[in-house]
Structure 1
Amino acid sequence: MFDKIIRENQFKTNCVIALYVIIFVLIGLLVDIVRINANTLLGGFYALLNLQEFPLVAIIMLGIAFAVVLFTISNFKRILLSGSEYKEIIAGSEINMQEKNLTKMLSELVETANLPFCPKLYLMDAPYMNAFASGWNADNSLIAVTTTLVRNLSYAEQKAVIAHELSHIRHGDIRLTLMVGVLSNIMLLVVNYGVYMFLGNSREKGANTARTILIVLQFILPLLTLVLQMFLSRSREYMADSGAAYLMGDSAPMIQALQKISGNYAQSDFSQSDRNPTRQALYIFSAGEMFSTHPSIENRIKALLN
């Protein structure tokens, strides 16, 4: 069962990476059509794809896409943890009981799951209760929990949260959400700021059509990214909740943790507290309902009760 899930998530990851690379190249081709002042849109595509005109911007965008993927793979820890003070909690080097409890929980869960690896554990200073897991694969994975979560959850509830994040790693979906979180934000930056240097006036129909499509993409791509994140995250959260209940041998700690975390967000608006948008889809909880990347707490609890 787990092998099948992991294979499916790896396939989805490859599809997501391919989709974003295609979008990057498409944006580059549209900008090239404006740059060469093409008579028609199709004629511009034909000239560029057949190298009658050199697709300079498309090549640059393809390079940017691959560079972003490679940079993300090698620097994902720094990317996801930036914007907050954080520290790695290492077994044997803990400085207080809080840290000792965290390493003990993780060690017990890794042993229960009979895993050949142990994720790195990070404590992130933040005013909200949340946690996430990430990594390119299980061997270089990490789990991060916020200081507010650790202070406000019981031992069993903290352990359930870590079990939830460990389940994400076991299910092989951390690479998928990592790429979505980073690539989507880079892509939106490119669309919003990178194309304007080529958006001058033109008398040619093809160039004007390409310019119009680029402007429309500024509104469509954020919606596409949101829909994709919702599709990926909602199914994976149910699976990770179930995995946490399995590792804990009881669904109650996970239910109680979700209730307390959602209650924390109900009391305050933390939308401005997190300055790192790349980890939004990775969190154990996302505020909001219809446009949230996560299923509602009520539905997640209902699933756990069943």
Structure 2
Amino acid sequence: MLDLASLDIAPLADKAEALLRSPLLTLLHNAASVHRTHHDVEDIQKASLLSVKTGGCPEDCAYCPQSAHHKEVGLQKEHFMSPDLVIEMAAQARAMGADRFCMGAAWRKVRDGAEFDAVLDMVRGVRQLGMEACVTLGMLQPHQAEALADAGLTAYNHNLDTGPEFYGEIIGTRTYRDRLETLNYVRAAGITICCGGIIGMGESLRDRAEMLAVLASFDPQPESVPINALIPVLGTPLGHLPRIHPMEMVRMVATARILIPKTRVRLSAGRDGFSVSDQILCFMAGANSIFYGDVLLTAPNSGLPLDDALFETMAHIES
């Protein structure tokens, strides 16, 4: 059972902070060694992400343009998508090379009813395509987690976002305990956990270390850890912040790989601002998944042509 009060994260946070501060080449070498011990370095999973219900979220997450609190963003609210359309888009993603399809709804929590039943249909449809299915729907109750498991859900995404000490600076409508409670329900239902966070929100290096320490303290550790770089959106409280330097992402990926060696580290939001070389360094540091496509929920992504060029650059060169 995940319970922040019972977790002594200080020793792991000290280790994580030391890694984040270590010389980059040494950190890269150590992370690459761990990565090769546990993974095939050529195995980089392509996942596709779709917003099935956009905007109007009652949460106040400072980074998120989908929050109803950030009225100056001007995001066009979209109604809940039909399962048939979602499954059709999943099939298109599979045809383009994705083998994991992730669906997000801008909800604070799941409510029983027609829309949740539709999500279950989406999960069943994606699984019937032979793809992994992941959803991010906000907070869950145990019976809802069990229903998702029965539908064949592969993974539930529920990010911590940041370290516990900085969390209150970013979100006021949901507690860290709330997040851990949902993750407990997910794990109890037998669904794998996809849980990571965002860097570049004004947090300290210690905050990043503490987030990784919490993740590394999970037993078992998360099967999937997405690392996101903030995409500042005008109209949100963090819209004025600069983008992070790509090497901050490299350090974060490398440290996550060392502390959580068997997980898939997902190079997620923010890589649209990274060069091919930056992203290859992230793969060397231990990232082994990307979101493949033009949009991440409502944020820009690298785009299919650039991603195809990235994988072509890394491919074996024929004589």
Taking structure 1 as the reference length, what is the TM-score of the superposition?
0.27
Structure whose residues are more often helix by fraction = 1
The two structures have a TM-score, normalised by structure 2, of: 0.26
Q: Indicate the structure (1 or 2) with the bigger Cα radius of gyration.
A: 1
